[in-house]
Amino acid sequence: MKARRVILLGVCILGVCALPVMAAGESARSAHDTGMAKLEAGDFSGAAGSFAQACRIEPDNRTYLLWHMRLQVFLGQNAAFAGNHRQAIASFTQALNAKEKFSGSGDSEHLAIKRLLDLTREHQALGAFRPEYVHRVRVLYIRHTDLKDVVDKDGRPVKSKGSIKDSQITASIRAQDQLKFFIETMTRGKLSLSFERTVLDTTLTRAVIYARQANRTMFRPDFSSTSESLGPHLFPQRNSIDSVFVYFVNPGFPVWPFANGVPMVYIPYTWYGPGRGSIAMPMDAAVAKNNSELVANFPHSWVTFHEFFHVIERRSGGIGPTHGWLPESIEKSKKAFPAWVPDPNDAWTATEYTWYRYHLQNTLPARMRLQSQKSKLVPPFKNFSFALTSPDAHADGLFATYSRALAGISLDRLRQAGELVAQADKARWGKRADEARALYIQALRHNPYHHRALYELGMDAHRRRDNAAVERYFSILERVFPDPKHARPRPARAR
């Protein structure tokens, strides 16, 4: 993709702008307009040259300096993420010079550029490093959204229909590349990430209420509701996936990005995999929609790193308080981690960054060493893996067998059965056996092959010494879900 190429430009590091060849009679305004046209067309190298030319003609024009700065940050990121540290440092230095010329220092843009420049030098100092572990991320893009039968907190229908744009996918990939760059640098090369990405031509059809606010309802997507299941993209790779990143488009229904709340969907509403790290990212909330927004909002590519830190908290056994960098949490955080020094700058992300950096360089390595002593997984950062520490032992053929059995059951019936099984589980945990039994039986009317309902009914019959019912439920279960963990118990003696 053009957005990911490393673009080599001749630059004047000590000056604010590069020195492009000027067309005779070309004005700064025409150079700026040409740059904007090239930017929207995806010609980032050409756009950078045009903006540099505009600010060379009018070096004090804030608009031209602003776009020159933004393009140099963009090109610097391309170079840094590709390992071209020298080019990245040159581009970030130009961007920083431009920034300081038209608006000084200390705000979030200046902070982001300075941070990228410093991290690039740190990454360069690592040399040819070999990480202790590469955390494997499965990235799924749910291309379409078309919500059905969704209402807000007041019962009003929610209409949402749209599709992810390719430019949004490009923007998300840059954010993932930045996440990888940040993690590698701040763990001093101990941990890295890899990404396997798939754009799915499937449709998200449901969302659920997450929070009721005074003037709006916040939702979370129902990833079991896709028109084609995510299972074929997750089960076969279940023991090579450490985290799942899911992207979707959300016009008309607000969703906060969130982490650790995306299940490994094997069969919608029916069968889910073991816990993995996860991020769910609403495209309309956190990802640029076009090239000018992509380039302009470089401080906001922070969101993916923010969410992944919640995965770090989880994988390390907990780092608290959550969002410990917030003003109301700082004193509590300093008591828990006395060596942490918050940034005195009150610009956006300044203190937050010091919180992440401290834990990546101190808390996380210490936790990995402790986990390694218990698990015997070495080197220590192998313990950052979900796949190695929580493998899925189901047989490879089980997914195909179960999928064939459920092939004729509609998504709506699978959902109704799943909801009833959840209610039955609560009744069973509450030792309300009769209520649980009735709910499991009701679930089978919607999905006669729900493996959990069949198993729980079979075990209930075994406890009641109803051998005929044991045979009825387990014979179906053994045919559709032949899993040793769901094996029938030894026959109970007749009374």
C-alpha span between 295 and 467 (Å, rounded): 68
In CATH terms, are 2-125 and 398-486 the same topology? yes
pTM for the model stands at 0.91
Tokens of 265: 């969907």
- Residue 15's pLDDT is 43
Q: Which CATH code for domain 2-125? A: 1.25.40.10
- Give 306-356 pLDDT, tens digit per residue: 999 999 999 999 999 999 999 999 999 999 999 999 998 888 899 999 999
Measured at the CA of 74, the angle between CA 186 and CA 98, to 5 degrees, comes to 100
Does domain 398-486 fall under CATH 1.25.40.10? My reply is: yes
Q: Where are the beta strands (DSSP E) in 171-313?
A: 191-204, 207-212, 217-221, 243-248, 258-259, 265-267, 271-272, 277-282
Confidence of residue 14 (pLDDT cuts 50, 70, 90): very low
Q: Which of 19-23, 24-28, 98-102 has the lowest mean pLDDT?
A: 19-23
- Give 418-446 pLDDT, tens digit per residue: 999 999 999 999 999 999 999 999 999 99
The structural domains of the chain, with segments of one domain joined by +, span 2-125, 133-389, 398-486
- The 10 Å Cβ neighbour count of residue 320 is 12
Tokens of 270: 């029916």
Reply yes or no on whether the pLDDT at 19 is more than 90.
Answer: no
C-alpha span between 343 and 335 (Å, rounded): 16
- Give 170-210 pLDDT, tens digit per residue: 889 999 999 999 999 999 999 999 999 999 999 999 999 99
- Residue 290's pLDDT is 81
